[in-house]
Amino acid sequence: MANLFRAHENRIQGISRKGMAALAIMGMLSACVAAERAPSRTQPAPAVIRPMVPAVPVRPAVARAPIGLENLLNEQWRVFPGRTGVAIMRIDGGEWITGQRVDELFPQQSVSKTWVALTILDLVDQNKIRLDQKIRITRDDLAVFHQPIRDRVIANGEIEVTVLSLLEQAIIGSDNTANDSLLRTAGGPQGVQNFLMRKKLGAIRFGPGERAMQSAIAGLEWRQEYAIGQRFYAARAEVPLATRKAALDRYLADPVDGASPEAIVRALAKLAKGELLSATSTRLILGIMARTSSGPNRLKAGVPAGWQFVHKTGTGQILPPVSTGYNDIGIMTAPDGTRYAVAVMMGSTTAPIPQRMSFMQFVSRTVATYHGQ
């Protein structure tokens, strides 16, 4: 495997006109354990109804991705274990899209927080809500998995937090309860789905809400007591392995929060070009995404110095040896201002975390290597 990567390094050094840094070695590394972090949305719906995805014709690209980039991406994608989708779109200077499994649906997990934030800011643009508007959060509103805001709620019984603060906590820190609170304010899952359809964002689904979805993935039905401490983990541990596997397999086969890599990068391109929100709201959300603290060693670690990067990660549940929904999406901006939208969606993989990170870094680093070619 090391020889394969050294061959890729030599190829990059021979092809690149700018002499950019060689690709990081992506050899198989020892497995390590990471804390599960999941996205968040809102109260469970009485039934899971998969939203219809509008048919949006694929616009023909007016340029072609560098053949060297396509070849390298294909080679590394083929040897990476599991089911992974990748899409890269040049936004400026001649639009093109390339990737693998670009039109298949992959679990989004916390990537879907992006669409909640955009829906909220669209409502701000319509003067239906305000950034300084306060939202009340009680113990009954707590979610599951990563939710730093939970301690404040438990300590005080209830709290009030501004829309702007919740946006920052949901995107920067991927706080699930913060996101759930925004989701309620946005009109629930249907409110977000309406935004996606109205903006013609294509193959992007929004599920029934975090608590209902994560419970179903684990073979459980949500109980509010699961929001406290480690109770969700304890309840999940009591679910028979066969039941958990069957529930996870159903989710992976038809993810209720599924999105295609191509739809994601096209949506990011529309955001970057100011086609989804007002100029003020566009600057605000991109500024918040630039401060994302989750996933520092995913796509971000492969972006060279001098480039700008804004992004949102997603991480799903684990049923060893399979990890699900290990994702990162973002916008890379070159020093000359050219922008690229990138999405790496690992639906399921047995690769250890360092190898997943290395593949993501390979993608973003290769985009930069071939910039201008």
pLDDT, one tens digit per residue, over 273-328 is 999 999 999 999 999 999 999 999 999 999 999 999 999 999 999 999 999 999 99
22-38 residue pLDDT tens: 333 333 333 333 333 33
Q: What angle do CA 222, 116, 181 make, to 5 degrees?
A: 55
Q: Using CA atoms, how far apart are residues 79 and 364, in angstroms rounded to an integer?
A: 17
Cβ count near 342 (within 10 Å): 27
Kindly state whether residue 363 falls inside one of the protein's structural domains: yes
Q: What pLDDT, on a 0 to 100 scale, did the predictor assign at position 187?
A: 96
Q: What are phi and psi of 41, to 5 degrees?
A: -145, -105
Q: How far apart are CA 237 and CA 172, in angstroms?
A: 30
Closest CA to 178 of 140, 154, 205, 150: 150
pLDDT of res. 59: 46
Is residue 202, in this structure, part of any structural domain at all? yes
What CATH code is carried by the domain that includes residue 334?
3.40.710.10
Q: Is 28 a domain residue?
A: no
Rounded Cα–Cα distance for residues 193 and 255 (Å): 15
How confident is the model over 137-155, as pLDDT tens digits?
Answer: 999 999 999 999 999 999 9
Residue 63: per-residue pLDDT? 84
The predicted model gives 62-68 an average pLDDT of: 87
Average pLDDT over residues 99-123: 98
Pick from 112, 139, 125, 124: nearest CA to 185: 124
Which tokens in the block code for residue 305? 């110095």
β-strand pairing of 322-333 with 258-259 = unpaired
Say if residue 79's pLDDT is above 90: yes
Asked, for residue 16, whether it belongs to a domain, the answer is no
If you average pLDDT over residues 323-335, what whole number do you get?
A: 98
The predicted structure's pLDDT at residue 289: 98
Residue 50 pLDDT exceeds 80 = no
- Domain total of the chain: 1
What average pLDDT does this structure show over 40-64? 46
Can you tell me the mean pLDDT for 61-90? 93
Local structure of residue 329 (DSSP, 8 states): E
Instruction: Determine the residue type at 22.
Output: A
Q: Are strands 83-90 and 339-349 parallel, antiparallel or unpaired?
A: antiparallel
330 is a domain residue: yes
- What is the structure's pLDDT at 3? 42
Close Cβ partners of 298 (under 8 Å, ≥ 6 residues apart): 311, 313, 328, 344, 356, 357, 360, 361
CA distances in angstroms from 291 to 124, 187, 285, 288, 333, listed in the order given? 21, 26, 10, 5, 15
Whether the CB-CB separation of 206 and 193 falls below 8 Å is answered with yes
> What pLDDT was estimated at residue 74?
97
For residue 10, is it within any domain? Answer: no
Give residue 54's pLDDT: 45
Band of the pLDDT at 372, cuts 50, 70, 90?
confident
Q: Torsion angle, CA of 319/325/326/327, rounded to 10 degrees?
A: 180
For the chain, where are the alpha helices, taking DSSP H only?
Answer: 2-15, 67-79, 113-125, 150-156, 163-172, 176-185, 188-198, 210-217, 231-237, 241-253, 261-272, 279-289, 353-369
Position 2 pLDDT exceeds 70: no
How do residues 234-268 score in pLDDT, each as one tens digit?
A: 999 999 999 999 999 999 999 999 999 999 999 99
Q: Is residue 9 part of a domain?
A: no
Enclosing domain of residue 246:
41-369
pLDDT tops 80 at residue 21: no
pLDDT category, 126, cuts 50, 70, 90? Answer: very high
Q: Is residue 4 part of a domain?
A: no
Q: How far is CA 343 from CA 170, 219, 287, 322, in A?
A: 19, 29, 19, 21
Percentage of the chain lying above the pLDDT 90 cut: 81
User: What pLDDT is attached to residue 62?
Assistant: 54
With 50 as the cut, is the pLDDT of residue 49 above it?
A: no
> What mean pLDDT is reported for the chain?
88
Task: Measure Cα distances from 288 to 40, 123, 317, 328, 343 in Å.
Answer: 18, 17, 26, 16, 18
Q: Please, which residues bridge with residue 330 across strands?
A: 311, 342
Q: What is the mean pLDDT of residues 171-182?
A: 96
Angle at 258 between CA 254 and CA 262, to 5 degrees: 125
